[in-house]
Structure 1
Amino acid sequence: MFTSVILAAGMGTRMKSKMPKVLHKVCGKPLSKWVIDASKAAGADKVCAVVGHKAETVKEVLGDVCEFALQAEQKGTGHAVMQAIDVIKNSKGEVVILNGDTPLITAETINKAIEYHKNNGNQATVITAILDDATGYGRIVRDNDGSVLKIVEQKDASEEEKKINEVNSGMYVFDAQSLVYALDKITPNNAQGEYYLTDTLEILLSAGKKIGGYAISDNDEIRGINDRVQLNEAEKIMQKRINEYHMRNGVTMRNPESVYIEDGVEIGNDTEICQNVTIKSGTKIGSDCVIGSGSMLDRAVI
């Protein structure tokens, strides 16, 4: 059992949209709902979404799928997590911090990160990725024993540190009480006057706590969505995952790259899906059906 805190308060100005970024959809489901569902599938007993920009709209769309905490003013990631302090204080075990704009994160990765965290006796574990081009990301600086010494942002990195290709995903696993301790001590000592969640790691290190780094195997899982181009890229990846799920469950697709299936579709085995087909959420298709080329099904029952 663990608690998941999902940061979903940002405005997302680069989306150029009246709608909050975390409500934009990938394969028929809001970005933040993918993260909530991954948390629940991984076994979270509590999920708390920290909302801010158009909070009431976000809460209305997501409904009762999780608890909510309000970040009325956006004062940094550390400040966002502080708004969920009551949930964190009452947590048993670990607290996993996730981002509401990373829909590709999976339950399997969340579980593996928690397992790594426990097995290594960490008080905090940074979920990391190894990138060919790490430009723009915070670099993970490790000690000789593999533990994390610090995270260095691109603008602050030395030439040697810029050569590091292991980066911070912005997702973490914390021991609940260690997180409470560190949040109580972070301060907005920076030009932006913000509370940074990464500062909690330095506080824990200064207190002699162990910080680890879990490198994920699929870098797509840390993809954050900031604009419509990245939204489209994430949807293509998710579309491939959904289609492969159905094919492995006995559905034939003649040209899967041309088939668009949203989340929440049921398809029986030995059904054939022809090319250029769109199947929207809520559709139920039985076994031994043929869905002809160019079909568009919306909450259909076949």
Structure 2
Amino acid sequence: MKGISAILLAAGQGKRMKSSLPKVAHLVLGKPVVWHVAQAARAAGIREMVFVLGYGRDKILPVVEAFGGKVAIQESQFGTGDAARCGLAELSAGAKEVVVLCGDAPLLRPATIRALLAARRRQEAPASVLTGVLDDPTGYGRIVRGDDGSVARIVEEKDANAVLRKVREVNSGTYAFDRVFLERGLPRLSDVNAQREYYLTDLVLEALAEGKRVVPLAAGEPDEVRGINSRRELADATRILLERKLDELMASGVTLVDPRRTYIETGVSVGQDTVIDPGVTLLGATRVGRGVRIQTGCVVDGSVLSDGVEMKPYTVIARSTVRKGAILGPFSHLRPETAIGEGVHIGNFVEVKKSRIGKGSKANHLSYLGDATIGKKVNVGAGTITCNYDGIHKHPTVLGDGVFVGSDTMLVAPVTVGKGALIGAGSTITRNVPSYALALCRAEQKNIEGWVARKRPELLKKAGLSAPAAKKGKK
């Protein structure tokens, strides 16, 4: 929206959080609290944003950069009026309307911001304020309405008497202002109050003194006005945003077998006809395609699952890509920078790290594949290990198309196995293997007949066996 800017108040520490982090930097559904506020503003059509920062500002700068915002510094905490004054100084000349947002209110919806702006314009008022009716209004400023329904006063709780504290309609701290009115009113604010701060709420009195109205807009969902001041409130906000996210996914055609036991963060996308079982966790910027099946206990962090992928129980993936039709698990682990090709099978207790697995290849049992490039239709036998680390450096292993690796094989990197080669079970491969060759590396087997009967007869007795009869001519 042209001519509309936002000031996000994010300078406070949040002492009740008991944390070295500023409260707006704590994560809610995978994103900082203030990120959700900025995202709501962006989704409402607001492009210019000024973030008023103070305590722990370096922790919030990544959010500012993500939204292309500007920074205003509030060195000392002298109240919301002082914070708005800092932010106003950084706004461009083109901003005709200013939305002031609380950086600790992540439940605010874009539609509510748009409605707040529309309410002010309809009545040509200098300001509108978002309110909410709460069952427990403790801690919030109270809205006092005039006979015409407009805002007569906003009274902070510390300044409220017993009667006012019973009022359940509260101030959210979110406002829409005409810029000219805001610039004229901020310098007039006084700090004569219980907290010795400059209250943005006192601009209501400025509007009344000019014979104008401040328009209240009650939030459709009271939760939208809730700020975060404690770990309990952080958990409550996470629960509410999670419910919204899961509802959106189900409405788009995703099956969640038990939403109450599913955790999916804000940045995750999931395609139609995907089925997600209970106990699944999807994190970060994970992208899940269509028709994917994710079974119980799986964790996916910042990864891409293409259409038709199947994840069997308790598979863990981080920052990796999985192509169409691959089957993973149960109990597989894909570490960062792994690329799984189309139709690949990665089975139980197989760990893959920083490797590329070609189309149709299989590693179904008890293997470690690290820093490897594996071609198409390769069979990796049970117990195979790429010995990629020499204590100082990591080294690559390359398996060409169609290679067959027998069980219990050690591939001591750097090593290359040419296409179509076969590695015999139990081998330790330390040199390159030519294409189509058979590679064996085993000690010669030696059998000593009758040794157990002569040297360890107690083992036979324990197993219920008797010693074989001695052969003629043998002692």
Q: TM-score range by the shorter chain?
A: over 0.9
The residue that corresponds to 2:379 in the other structure is none
For 1:30 and 1:215, the matched residues in 2 are separated by: 26
Structure 1 residue 93: Cα displacement: 3.1
The residue that corresponds to 1:46 in the other structure is 48
Once the two structures are superposed, what CA deviation does each residue of 1:262-297 show, in whole Å capped at 9, x if it has no partner? 111121100000000000112111101100111000
For 1:30 and 1:71, the matched residues in 2 are separated by: 20
Structure 1, unpaired ranges of 5+: none
Q: Single out whichever of 109-118 and 202-211 deviates more from structure 2.
A: 202-211
The residue that corresponds to 1:14 in the other structure is 16
Structure 1 residue 19: Cα displacement: 1.4
* 1:176 corresponds to 2:183: no
The residue that corresponds to 1:106 in the other structure is 109
Matches within 5 A, 1:253-272: 253-272=256-275
Q: Aligned letter for 1:189?
A: V
> Which of 184, 209, 218 lines up with 2:212 in the alignment?
209
Structure 1 residue 164: Cα displacement: 2.8
The residue that corresponds to 1:63 in the other structure is 65
Q: Aligned letter for 2:260?
A: E
Structure 1 residue 137: Cα displacement: 2.6
The residue that corresponds to 1:247 in the other structure is 250
The residue that corresponds to 1:121 in the other structure is 124
Q: Aligned letter for 1:20?
A: P
Over the aligned positions, Cα root-mean-square deviation in angstroms equals 1.6
Q: Aligned letter for 2:55?
A: H
Once the two structures are superposed, what CA deviation does each residue of 1:158-215 show, in whole Å capped at 9, x if it has no partner? 5543443211111111111101110121132235432111122212211222211111
Relative contact order (alpha carbons < 8 A, sep ≥ 6): 1 or 2 greater? 1
> Which of 271, 276, 279 lines up with 1:273 in the alignment?
276
Q: Single out whichever of 191-200 and 226-235 deviates more from structure 2.
A: 191-200
Provide the secondary structure at the position in 1 that maps to 2:181.
helix
Provide the secondary structure at the position in 2 that maps to 1:68.
strand
Q: Aligned letter for 1:278?
A: T
Q: Aligned letter for 2:180?
A: Q
Once the two structures are superposed, what CA deviation does each residue of 1:127-174 show, in whole Å capped at 9, x if it has no partner? 101123334432211121111111123344455434432111111111
* Contact 2:263–2:280 (8 Å) recurs in 1: yes
> Which of 131, 150, 154 lines up with 1:151 in the alignment?
154
Give the structure with the higher percent helix: 1
For 1:161 and 1:12, the matched residues in 2 are separated by: 25
For 1:172 and 1:286, the matched residues in 2 are separated by: 40
For 2:17 and 2:136, the matched residues in 1 are separated by: 24
> Which of 139, 144, 169 lines up with 1:141 in the alignment?
144
* Contact 2:159–2:194 (8 Å) recurs in 1: no
* Contact 1:15–1:21 (8 Å) recurs in 2: yes
For 1:153 and 1:99, the matched residues in 2 are separated by: 16
* Contact 2:134–2:222 (8 Å) recurs in 1: yes
Provide the secondary structure at the position in 1 that maps to 2:200.
coil
Once the two structures are superposed, what CA deviation does each residue of 1:69-89 show, in whole Å capped at 9, x if it has no partner? 110111111000110122447
The residue that corresponds to 1:30 in the other structure is 32
For 2:78 and 2:158, the matched residues in 1 are separated by: 20
For 1:78 and 1:218, the matched residues in 2 are separated by: 26
* Contact 2:7–2:88 (8 Å) recurs in 1: no
Structure 1 residue 91: Cα displacement: 4.5
For 1:213 and 1:273, the matched residues in 2 are separated by: 42
Structure 1 residue 241: Cα displacement: 0.6
Structure 2, unpaired ranges of 5+: 306-475
For 2:94 and 2:204, the matched residues in 1 are separated by: 19
Once the two structures are superposed, what CA deviation does each residue of 1:20-66 show, in whole Å capped at 9, x if it has no partner? 21110111100000000100100113111100002123214542411
Provide the secondary structure at the position in 1 that maps to 2:95.
coil
For 2:264 and 2:94, the matched residues in 1 are separated by: 37
Q: Single out whichever of 7-16 and 92-101 deviates more from structure 2.
A: 92-101
> Which of 96, 100, 117 lines up with 1:97 in the alignment?
100
For 2:184 and 2:212, the matched residues in 1 are separated by: 11
Provide the secondary structure at the position in 1 that maps to 2:217.
strand
For 1:191 and 1:151, the matched residues in 2 are separated by: 14
* 1:288 corresponds to 2:291: yes
* Contact 2:269–2:287 (8 Å) recurs in 1: yes
Provide the secondary structure at the position in 2 that maps to 1:169.
strand
For 2:304 and 2:139, the matched residues in 1 are separated by: 47
Q: Aligned letter for 1:127?
A: L
TM-score (norm 2): 0.61
Matches within 5 A, 1:192-207: 192-207=195-210
| CA distance 1:283–1:133, change in 2 (3 Å) | closer
Taking only the aligned residue pairs, the percentage that are identical comes to 41
> Which of 217, 221, 233 lines up with 1:218 in the alignment?
221
